[in-house]
Chains A and B, each alone.
Chain A
Amino acid sequence: MTRALIIDDEPLARMVVLEYLQAFPQIEVLQECGDGFEGLKAIQQHQPDLIFLDVQMPKINGFEMLELVDNPPAVIFATAFDEFAIKAFEAHALDYLLKPFSKERFVKAIDKFLSHSNTAPAAAKTTETLLEIAAQSPAQNERIVVKTGTKVKIISVLDVEYLQADDDYVSVITAEGAFLKNKTMAFFEKTLDPRHFVRVHRSYIIAIQQITRLDPYEKDSHLAILKSGAKIPVSKTGYVKLKQVLGI
């Protein structure tokens, strides 16, 4: 038995998936969700094997929702038109359906899932790569979605002061406090706008607008003093990068 969720903000779009699924009695739909928050809750509650996911949804989009799931299930995306998402899918999604899709196309996607379901870890790996590509879409590098306890917080990148490596996580520091995100420094270095964020140290990325002063520190290294008063170490290579961006 395969346990599935449908996450789409348009009721009729969910209905199409339900209708097509009638041909697959071995797939049980546990719940239909109208937005990413509901979807996130339902995934944690039910631990489904498969989700049907729309990209454009209220509050947080499909990609952002997936980022917050610890062990993402297999995903079949269903979207109408989003050039960037399609690019991401073509490279890495298990499968994606372009709305409106035919029953034949839907059956193909399900068949693909059923034949792949033995190799679940591989699916999780591709989902990760997919999210990395999707995170580079213009809409998505303007904010960072994090989980604090059971709540979801959306942080605008304009509010970010700096990021600090924290074991397997990255700590996102804003005026409101620090938020953990299970991503790597390399991920943020790649996705944040390089004109505004510089990786000045192996463990730090800073928002250059926050810098008030650059002081020399021990040999070959510097200290960046931020508006908030935080002192961030700047390595030799970080200093070179920083000088380039600041044009000094």
Chain B
Amino acid sequence: MASEQLSGKKLFGAFAICGAVWAALQAYLLHSFGFVWMVALADAGISTILLSVACWLINNNLRYYQPDRGSYIYLLVWCGALAAGCAAACRYIIPFFGFGVVYDNFLKQSFIIRLFTDFLAIGWMAMISALFYSQIDHKKTEQRKTEAEKLARDAELYNLRQQLQPHFLFNSLNSINALIGFKPDEARRMIHQLSDFLRGTLKKDDQLLVPLSDELTHLNLYLEIEKVRFGHRLQTEISCYEKCGKALLPSMLLQPLVENAIKFGLYDTTGEVTISISGELEDSYLVMTIQNPYDSQTSRPRKGTGFGLSGVQRRLYLIFARNDLMETHANDNIFTTIIKIPQL
């Protein structure tokens, strides 16, 4: 922005200098035709001021409206009209000063030449302005583009970090390490579940919509691993109507919600914890409800939404451009997250 203002000022300076030079040249020319300096200067001053106004008009016009390729002809017409206006104003205003018959005659005769020079000058101005503003526009678009690219990159990195879930990964490996000693078969099974889960998270495209049945299969892998880790403390209930299976939702949308529910539920209470997940079709929405217990005595339900939850909300917004698709509430020591996914 600073550089743009700077070049705007520079442009104005150049414009003023050009005007002064223009007026001086015109005055000198008129004087060389034999008019006294006073008359020459007055004529030059008035016509240059008029010309400047016209130039300012065309410049302002181009600042807010850049003609596309097809409509340059209108710009030409507009330049012509302004030139005609300038020349005519000179022709009819200056005689009021009463500089004498010789001068008035000269004014009439020079009308055509004034018209053409005005037209040329205004045309120049239009061309320079058009170039200048299109360059600024171009710079701005470029800036927006790099900004958007940076945002996209940040989002991608964030996603990668989320997918890796180091805490989950290392704890799972630790469980496998324990199982290898005395239950090698279970260790092997857990390795396969973990691999399938990780592979699933890696290949998923953020924008892709997948059927609920696929998403639940993936979610089950995750839940099986967590159940091995936490033993009997973690119970899950999944209830979805059969016809929901084909409903579409963004991939990997449920997992962070369930992860949040598990963390919240398991780390906030000491007994057994049941996480329930249910899905149903309502009007043209797939409505998923995830519930976990918490202890209202020791933790107020997290201010606003948790870290994982805000990520889900952001994704829903990016995909569906709506902010009202997720809601959470807490009562009777149960924390509930509800998301609605529009079915097109």
Contacts of A82 in B (CB 8 A): 167
The 3 A-B residue pairs with the shortest CB-CB distance, nearest first, are A80-B170, A99-B174, A12-B178
A80-B167 contact, Cβ under 8 Å, with A11-B231, A58-B266, A59-B269: yes
**Majority secondary structure, B binding face:** helix
Least Cβ distance of A176 to chain B in Å? 11
Contacts of B230 in A (CB 8 A): 9-11
Contacts of A158 in B (CB 8 A): 300
B298: Cβ under 8 A from any A Cβ: yes
A230: Cβ under 8 A from any B Cβ: no
A16-B178 contact, Cβ under 8 Å, with A80-B170, A99-B171, A156-B300: yes
- The answer to whether B178 and A13 touch across the interface, beta carbons within 8 angstroms, is yes
Bound: A16/B51 CA distance, A: 90
- The answer to whether B270 and A80 touch across the interface, beta carbons within 8 angstroms, is no
- The answer to whether B170 and A98 touch across the interface, beta carbons within 8 angstroms, is yes
- The answer to whether A80 and B269 touch across the interface, beta carbons within 8 angstroms, is no
Contacts of B179 in A (CB 8 A): 12
| Interchain Cβ contacts under 8 Å between A and B, 5 examples | A10-B174, A10-B175, A15-B181, A80-B170, A80-B171
B34: Cβ under 8 A from any A Cβ: no
A179: Cβ under 8 A from any B Cβ: no
A187: Cβ under 8 A from any B Cβ: no
Q: Which residue in chain A gives the minimum CB-CB distance to B269? A: A58
Interface footprint category on A: 20 to 34
- The answer to whether A99 and B173 touch across the interface, beta carbons within 8 angstroms, is yes
Q: Which residue in chain A gives the minimum CB-CB distance to B266? A: A58
A70: Cβ under 8 A from any B Cβ: no
Contacts of B170 in A (CB 8 A): 80-81, 98-100
- The answer to whether B270 and A12 touch across the interface, beta carbons within 8 angstroms, is no
- Find B178's partner among A19, A58, A81, A156 (CB 8 Å cutoff): A19
A56: Cβ under 8 A from any B Cβ: yes
Bound: A80/B295 CA distance, A: 25
A57-B229 contact, Cβ under 8 Å, with A82-B167, A98-B170, A99-B174: no
Contacts of A156 in B (CB 8 A): 299-300
Bound: A108/B169 CA distance, A: 24
Number of interface residues of B (CB under 8 A): 28
Bound: A99/B169 CA distance, A: 10
Query: Which of A38, A57, A81, A156 counts the most chain B CB atoms within 10 A?
Result: A81
How would residues 33 to 62 of chain A score, 1 for a CB under 8 Å from any chain B CB and 0 otherwise? 011011000000000000000001111000
Contacts of B269 in A (CB 8 A): 58-59
Contacts of A120 in B (CB 8 A): none
A154: Cβ under 8 A from any B Cβ: yes
Contacts of A16 in B (CB 8 A): 174, 177-178, 181
B166: Cβ under 8 A from any A Cβ: yes
- Other 10 A-B pairs with CB < 8 A, given A10-B171, A15-B178: A9-B266, A10-B175, A11-B231, A12-B229, A16-B177, A34-B233, A82-B167, A98-B170, A99-B177, A101-B174
- The answer to whether A58 and B174 touch across the interface, beta carbons within 8 angstroms, is no
How would residues 130 to 168 of chain A score, 1 for a CB under 8 Å from any chain B CB and 0 otherwise? 000000000000000000000000101010000000000
How would residues 289 to 322 of chain B score, 1 for a CB under 8 Å from any chain A CB and 0 otherwise? 0000001001110000000000000000000000
- The answer to whether B171 and A13 touch across the interface, beta carbons within 8 angstroms, is yes
Q: Which residue in chain B gives the minimum CB-CB distance to A61? A: B267
Q: Which residue in chain B gives the minimum CB-CB distance to A57? A: B267
Bound: A12/B175 CA distance, A: 5
Bound: A246/B171 CA distance, A: 44
Contacts of A19 in B (CB 8 A): 178, 181-182
